[in-house]
């Protein structure tokens, strides 16, 4: 017996998608026409719709014991933008290539699934939903996309893919670019840009956290998800509980407490607050404090919601022991780059975690039950697979694990991230949590060394800026759009190390780079005039403008030394230097106070 969502999609979508297939058949010629008739038959479309309907089956942290239809839990108006404010239809974005940007817990994944289901009903496009975390990255991105279409029930090859991608009828919905492994993220971004450039009529929607590596995109227009207003928070709570009687106490607490309503500005944090407040009447003072209460709350959540009911723990471990194991588990899985893993990996992580916490018994099976069935912070995700209910859960408890390491191990961790941008990308949100729960070590071992490194201060605090450091700050993917006379039209800035860790420096160096490029007008024009014809055609866009990779231009015209000299002069008396001095003085004051307090 087919599920309700599948039957609804069949009724609404078959006519629309069937018409798309008919239109594609009429427009095709030769071999491709036969391919369309075979690959987009009524039976194949029904298989496609059945696969799409599975996207609408979700588990939530609020109802972890149930698999729900997305239509039951999706709250309209929660995901909003500046312009247009609310989007139900892909065409309302008014652009073919969309970068949907939002922080942790702002509802990106749920929203993209909602869009996919809506497009399947509307029948304007063939929607293909893909999670970046499920790609292998062992082959070119185009091949990965073809395989994804095949997995959705349409067995296409390269020629038919090219035809569909140029047809204005194909829509890729790509979720979680920030979950692309850091060692292949630049490569993936470049391939995505090339696909966007090659197939101008192909609709693509990509979701990502900010500063994840798509900031320098020429072809994707960014739409930033807005934080929840107080009115939307109230609406969301009513929707979450299903009745005003249960939601009203929480609404009243948020109205009375300005700080809380400012913190609960995302669907995830508002849901977590609803859970914790209902269980404990707890009012957190920070986002980190929110997360700190999640594990103990979820351990006893069922017991408190059902009078006289106590769910037995198979592991027989204490609250303290289970939480410590969970923290270690989060760290190990994040270190391995896994938010989703199979049973064997789960057991291996738990085996190492229990060993680290000096628990000798073999409790892997029992702990899997306790973690998945009681806390529901990790849930079953298909056959023989598990995943965190949200990535930020893994990130927060990893930060707690790091915060309880010895000082020398903390130094090693922070120093590793200062030395490696790709590693920092993996741990970025963990670092954000550590900035509030491990403030002193975060500032001393990570923030200060990183900021000094960014501007070229050596161990003796002498400014020794080099071109490599400027490259790291500007970003290898930064591009500049110019006209044939060298006039600058726009700059597409890459996401870099300092984008989130030293925003004052990024603002400074981008301003100075624009000034430097403005003075380079004639040199830019000459660069276009004397380059090879093939390069000229590669640089030129359909509107007649030209797009150059900024660092490639600087290197090719041998202006790197002049740029270093220019930035070095500007930086010496800048506010950036003052920021570093203030941070260093703050650390020294803390050192002095610690010595005074701990002297015997």
pLDDT of residue 3: 55
Give the rounded distance of the alpha carbon of 231 from its chain centre. 26
| CATH of the structural domain 4-224, one choice from 3.40.50.300, 3.30.2400.10, 3.50.50.60, 3.20.20.70 | 3.40.50.300
The residue behind tokens 């190390």 is: 497
With beta carbons less than 8 A apart as the criterion, state whether 113 and 129 touch: yes
Neighbours of 80 (CB within 10 A): 15
CA distances from 6 to 15, 39, 44, 49 (A): 14, 21, 14, 7
Closest CA to 161 of 35, 53, 45: 35
Residues 104 and 431: their CA atoms lie apart, in Å, by: 14
What region does 376 belong to: left with phi over 0, alpha with psi -120 to 50, or beta?
left
Q: Where are the domains of the chain?
A: 4-224, 230-285, 302-437, 439-600
Both tokens of 19, joined, read 């018409």
Neighbours of 273 (CB within 10 A): 24
Residues 94 and 240: their CA atoms lie apart, in Å, by: 31
CA distances from 27 to 35, 36, 45, 168, 203 (A): 12, 10, 18, 12, 19
Q: Dmax over Cα atoms in the chain, in whole Å?
A: 89
DSSP symbols for 134-176: G---SS-HHHHHHHHHHHTT----HHHHHHHHTTT-EEEEEE-
The residue behind tokens 């866009």 is: 541
pLDDT of residue 286: 77
The pLDDT tens digits of the residues spanning 518-555 come to 999 999 999 999 999 999 999 999 899 999 999 999 99
- 353's CB contacts (< 8 A; 6+ apart) are 325, 326, 328, 329, 332
pLDDT of residue 25: 85
With beta carbons less than 8 A apart as the criterion, state whether 220 and 96 touch: no
Both tokens of 509, joined, read 């160096």
- 289's CB contacts (< 8 A; 6+ apart) are none
Residues 551 and 525: their CA atoms lie apart, in Å, by: 16
Q: Could you write out the three-class secondary structure of 314-365?
A: CCCCCHHHHHHHHHHHHHHHHHCCCCEEEHHHHHHHHHHHHHHCCCCCCCHH
Q: Could you write out the three-class secondary structure of 176-191?
A: CHHHCCHHHHHHHHHH
Whether pLDDT at 476 is above 80: yes
pLDDT of residue 156: 87
The pLDDT tens digits of the residues spanning 117-155 come to 999 888 889 999 999 998 989 999 999 999 988 988 888
Q: Higher pLDDT residue, 33 or 263?
A: 33
Neighbours of 455 (CB within 10 A): 26
Residues 462 and 321: their CA atoms lie apart, in Å, by: 48
The pLDDT tens digits of the residues spanning 175-219 come to 999 999 888 999 999 999 999 999 999 999 999 999 888 988 999
Indicate the length of the chain as a whole number: 600
Whether pLDDT at 348 is above 50: yes
**This prediction's pTM:** 0.85
What region does 388 belong to: left with phi over 0, alpha with psi -120 to 50, or beta?
beta
CA distances from 266 to 229, 250, 269, 270, 590 (A): 9, 15, 5, 6, 34
Both tokens of 453, joined, read 């490194």
User: Sheet holding 126-131: strands in order across?
Assistant: 126-131, 170-175, 203-208, 97-101, 221-224
The pLDDT tens digits of the residues spanning 427-471 come to 999 999 999 999 999 999 999 999 999 999 988 889 999 999 999
Average pLDDT estimate for 263-281: 86
pLDDT of residue 437: 94
- Alpha carbons within 13 A on the beta-carbon side of 438: 27
Give the rounded distance of the alpha carbon of 519 from its chain centre. 37
Neighbours of 571 (CB within 10 A): 20
Share of the chain above pLDDT 70, in %: 96
Residues 576 and 567: their CA atoms lie apart, in Å, by: 12
Beta strand 546-549 with 479-482 is antiparallel
- Mark 511-534 as b/e (b = at least 16 C-beta within 10 Å): ebbeebbeebeeebbebbeebeee
- 140's CB contacts (< 8 A; 6+ apart) are 191
pLDDT of residue 12: 46
Structure confidence at residue 376 as a pLDDT band (50, 70, 90):
confident
- Mark 212-246 as b/e (b = at least 16 C-beta within 10 Å): bbbbbbebbeebebbbbeeebbbbbbbbbbeeeee
Q: Higher pLDDT residue, 49 or 2?
A: 49
The pLDDT tens digits of the residues spanning 282-315 come to 777 777 888 888 888 888 765 444 434 455 788 9
Whether pLDDT at 77 is above 70: yes
Structure confidence at residue 8 as a pLDDT band (50, 70, 90):
low
Residues 492 and 495: their CA atoms lie apart, in Å, by: 10
């Amino acid at each position: 017996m087919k599920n309700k969502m599948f039957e609804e999609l069949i009724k609404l979508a078959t006519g629309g998608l069937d018409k798309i297939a008919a239109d594609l058949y009429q427009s095709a010629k030769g071999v491709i026409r036969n391919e369309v008739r075979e690959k987009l038959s009524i039976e194949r479309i029904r298989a496609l719709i059945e696969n799409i309907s599975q996207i609408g089956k979700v588990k939530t942290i609020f109802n972890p014991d149930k698999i729900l239809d997305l239509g039951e839990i999706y709250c309209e108006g929660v995901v909003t933008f500046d312009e247009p404010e609310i989007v139900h239809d892909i065409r309302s974005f008014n652009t073919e290539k969309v970068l949907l940007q939002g922080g942790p817990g702002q509802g990106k994944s749920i929203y993209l699934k909602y869009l996919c289901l809506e497009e399947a009903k509307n029948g304007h496009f063939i929607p293909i939903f893909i999670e970046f975390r499920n790609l292998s990255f062992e082959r070119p991105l185009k091949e990965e996309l073809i395989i994804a279409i095949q997995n959705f029930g349409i067995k296409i090859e390269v020629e038919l893919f090219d035809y569909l991608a140029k047809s204005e009828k194909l829509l890729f919905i790509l979720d979680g670019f920030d979950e692309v492994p850091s060692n292949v993220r630049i490569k993936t971004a470049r391939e995505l840009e090339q696909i966007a450039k090659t197939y101008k009529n192909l609709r693509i929607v990509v979701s990502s956290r900010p500063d994840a590596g798509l900031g320098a995109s020429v072809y994707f227009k960014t739409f930033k998800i807005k934080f929840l207003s107080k009115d939307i928070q109230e609406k969301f709570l009513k929707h979450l509980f299903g009745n005003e009687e249960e939601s009203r106490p929480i609404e009243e607490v948020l109205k009375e407490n300005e700080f809380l309503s400012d913190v609960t500005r995302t669907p995830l944090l508002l849901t977590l607050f609803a859970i914790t407040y209902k269980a404990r009447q707890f009012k957190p003072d920070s986002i980190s404090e929110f997360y700190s209460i999640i594990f103990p709350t979820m351990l006893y959540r069922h017991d408190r919601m059902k009078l006289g009911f106590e769910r037995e723990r198979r592991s027989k471990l204490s609250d303290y022991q289970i939480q410590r194991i969970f923290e270690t588990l989060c760290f190990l899985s994040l270190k391995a780059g896994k938010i989703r893993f199979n049973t064997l990996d789960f057991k291996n992580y738990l085996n190492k975690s229990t060993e680290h916490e000096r628990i000798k018994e073999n409790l892997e099976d029992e702990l899997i039950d306790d973690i998945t069935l009681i806390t529901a912070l990790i849930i079953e995700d298909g056959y023989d697979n598990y995943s965190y209910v949200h990535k930020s859960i893994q990130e927060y408890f990893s930060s707690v694990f790091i915060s309880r390491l010895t000082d020398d191990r903390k130094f090693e961790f922070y120093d590793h991230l200062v030395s490696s941008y790709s590693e920092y990308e993996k741990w970025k949100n963990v670092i954000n949590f550590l900035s509030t729960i491990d403030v002193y070590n975060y500032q001393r071992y990570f923030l200060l060394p990183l900021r000094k490194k960014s501007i070229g201060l050596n161990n003796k605090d002498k400014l020794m800026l080099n071109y490599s450091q400027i490259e790291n700050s500007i970003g290898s993917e930064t591009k500049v759009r110019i006209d044939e006379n060298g006039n600058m039209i726009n700059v597409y800035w890459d996401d870099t190390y300092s984008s989130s860790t030293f925003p004052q420096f990024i603002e400074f160096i981008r301003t100075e780079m624009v000034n430097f490029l403005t003075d380079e007008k004639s040199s830019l024009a000459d660069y276009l005039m004397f380059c090879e014809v093939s390069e000229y055609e590669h640089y030129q866009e359909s509107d007649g403008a030209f797009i150059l990779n900024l660092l490639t231009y600087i290197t090719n015209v041998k202006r790197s030394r002049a740029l270093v000299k220019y930035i070095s002069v500007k930086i010496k008396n800048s506010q950036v230097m003052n920021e570093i001095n203030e941070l260093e003085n703050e650390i020294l004051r803390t050192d002095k106070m610690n010595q005074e307090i701990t002297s015997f």
